[in-house]
Chain A
Amino acid sequence: MNSNKMKNIFLADDDADDRMFFEDALKKVAISTQLTVSNDGLELMNNLETIMEPPPPDVIFLDLNMPRKNGFQCLEEIKNIHKLKDIPIVIFSTTTNEDAVNKTYQHGANHYICKPHSFELLVKAIETVLKLEMWQKPQPPKEKFVLAFA
């Protein structure tokens, strides 16, 4: 990933507050980004298909608990689409359940951010993940991190 180039970020989250937090946090990250927001999983998949023209997404942030199509379903579908399967996926959820977290990794998620209770921590989490992705290109395999903030 070219660090100079504007990063193309996708977010799927049905929670308006969380979408707002994410957009605001992303603006605070010292990386130039462009954000495409989807209100649920189905909308994300549609967006991924229609906006397949370059530039493709650099990172997809995916909530788990969403109407119409949940995070697990999106993850499975993305990993089965050849053009999309190598895009890093960051799970962005409130769930701290160990089984759920493990399941996302098994389905090919790259990172897991547990939605923090502080705006500063959210900014740091997004920033950390994006930096990791920039440094580690090309991957896989790569180390898995769980950034769980209590």
Chain B
Amino acid sequence: MPENKLSDTIRELAFQMEEKEKRAAELIIANEELIFQNGEKEKRAAELIIANKELAFQNEEKENRAAELIIANKELAFQNKEKEKRAAELIIANEELIFQNEEKENRAAELIIANKELAFQNEEKENRAAELIIANKELAFQNLEKEKRAAELIIANEELIFQNGEKENRAAELIIANKELAFQNEEKENRAAELNIANKELAFQNVEKEKRAAELIIANKELIFQNGEKENRAAELIIANEELIFQNGEKENRAAELIIANKELIFQNGEKEKRAAELFIANKELESFTYISSHDLQEPLRKIQTFATRLIADEFQNLSDKGKEYVLRMQDAANRMQTLIDDLLAYSRITISERKFETTHLSPIIEAVINDFKEIIAANHATIEVGKMYDAHIIPFQFRQLMHNIIGNALKFSNPDRPPHIIIKSRNIKGNEVKDQKLLSEKEYCHITVTDNGIGFEPQYKDHIFELFKRLHHKEKITGTGIGLTIVKKIVENHNGVITARGELNKGASFDIYIPSI
């Protein structure tokens, strides 16, 4: 079996070999087929690459084309817009043209009329020319006739020459007549030539008139345009004019208001002047009233006082205790009234008396005033310090009164707990060194300060203390009338000066006086 087996195996192997060879041959064929197919495929691939490239190129081309189309599209959109604008412009231009056409038609109608006129004139001229031509023809005919006649005459002449003899005279005459006719002919020909020239002249004039008509059309258009401009301008002027008329109206109203306001001011000024004059008179009257009344009050008062002294001297013992007290009180009241009247008199004298200014050194006046008070100064153990004094432009007796009242007050309103101490100082300053509107900034002033250590006053009364009859203290405590500082203020004002007061209750008072140095 192994042989069989082997042979089977060999056969099997052979078969397998054979099969393998067949298979190899098939494979070779299949391979060749594949090689061929590969070649084909490569060719196809190359073709496809080419086709691909072609497609890529075409795509690119298409993209380029698309881009171009987008641009072209935009261009078209832009052109469309432009065309729309242009169309709008054209509509406006069209309207303008329609208007112009209308104008032109109007003008053309006018020109047609003018043209018809010219045509009529031309026709007239042509008629005239035709007439002249007819006249010319007539003349030419007559000439012809005359030539015929001349020819006939020549024939007759010849006949006559032939007849000779007696007819020679006649012939000579005819020759003359002939010459005459020739001359007339010539004249007629000249006339025809002249008519021709006149005709040409007319034709030329017609041309000229046409030119002129064209010019007139242009000039007309220009005038129409100018008219338009003038109408616009006129409309503007009318508006401007109305504005001006309105403004003029406003100005007139304002002027009228100002005139009324002016009249009102004039009236008020007049009233003020009247009032000022009245006040001036009233003031003068008041001043003289004060003087006269206080002077006349003296008389009865003096008698009351005198009777009181007599009562006290002669009848006092006859009075009850009450009666005695009443008489003493009456005398006290009368004495106070006298002080009051004296002060009022002093005040009115300061007001109405003549003011004689002198530039004077202040020291002697102050020394004299202090001397007036020497008894009081001694009695109260008062001290008065006087610093350096300067010149001032003053009314001496008034300034003395001023210092008298101020120093007198300082002594009178002394503090009972301490002896009076008064300090008087002065310095030269310019008005602008002090904050007071009443002082002239560039003027030189003498600034006098009087300071005391008396009972003083509350700071809020610093202006009140200068008012007439203004007493800050009870009259039982302090004698006086309340006119002293009013006189002081009046005197300072008479000197074109300023006085101010400072005070502190129970510490003292200080007066600042500013009087012009020169």
Contacts and interface: CB of A to CB of B under 8 A. Distances in A.
Given A94-B298, A150-B342, A119 B303 contact: no
Interface string B291-317: 000000011011101100110010000
Interface residues of B, number: 12
Given A17-B303, A94-B298, A115-B302, A120 B313 contact: yes
Interface string B333-355: 00000100010000000000000
A83 interface: no
Contacts of B301: 117
A92 B299 CA distance: 13
A18 B305 CA distance: 12
Contact of A119 (B299, B313, B338, B342): B313
A105 B302 CA distance: 25
B306 A122 contact: yes
B306 A94 contact: no
B299 A94 contact: yes
Contact of A118 (B298, B299, B309): B309
A92 B342 CA distance: 20
Contacts of B302: 94, 115-117
Interface of B is mostly: helix
B348 to A, nearest CB: 13
Contacts of A116: 302, 306
Contacts of B303: 17-18
B309 A120 contact: yes
Interface in A104-126: 115-120, 122
Contacts of B305: 117-118
A144 B299 CA distance: 25
Contacts of B313: 119-120
Contacts of A122: 306
B291 to A, nearest CB: 11
A117 B342 CA distance: 13
A119 B298 contact: no
Nearest to B339: A150
B472 to A, nearest CB: 26
A118 B309 CA distance: 6
Among A116, A118, A120, A122, the most chain B Cβ lie within 10 Å of the Cβ of A118
B310 A117 contact: no
Contacts of A24: 310
A94 B342 CA distance: 13
A21 B306 contact: yes
A117 B299 contact: no
A94 B306 CA distance: 13
Nearest to A17: B303
Nearest to A95: B295
Contacts of A17: 303, 306
A118 B306 contact: yes
A15 B299 CA distance: 10
Contacts of A150: 342
Contacts of B298: 94
A35 to B, nearest CB: 18
Contacts of B310: 24, 119
B463 to A, nearest CB: 32
Contacts of A94: 298-299, 302
A122 B303 CA distance: 12
Interface in A69-98: 94
A56 to B, nearest CB: 30
Contacts of A119: 306, 309-310, 313
Interface in A13-29: 15, 17-18, 21, 24
Contacts of B342: 150
A116 B298 CA distance: 11
B309 to A, nearest CB: 4
A117 B339 CA distance: 12
Nearest to B304: A117
Nearest to B305: A117
Nearest to A65: B299
Interface in A99-150: 115-120, 122, 150
Nearest to B342: A150
A101 B299 CA distance: 18
Among B299, B302, B303, B313, the most chain A Cβ lie within 10 Å of the Cβ of B302
Contacts of A120: 309, 313
Nearest to B334: A117
Nearest to B303: A17
Contact of B338 (A18, A115, A117): A117
A21 B342 CA distance: 23
9 contacts: A15-B299, A18-B303, A21-B306, A115-B302, A116-B302, A117-B306, A118-B305, A119-B309, A122-B306
State the 8 A-B residue pairs at the shortest beta-carbon distance, nearest first.
A117-B305, A119-B309, A118-B309, A119-B310, A117-B302, A17-B303, A119-B306, A21-B306
Interface of B: 298-299, 301-303, 305-306, 309-310, 313, 338, 342
Given A119-B313, A122-B306, 18 more contacts: A15-B299, A21-B306, A94-B298, A94-B299, A94-B302, A115-B302, A116-B302, A117-B301, A117-B302, A117-B306, A117-B309, A117-B338, A118-B305, A118-B309, A119-B306, A119-B310, A120-B313, A150-B342
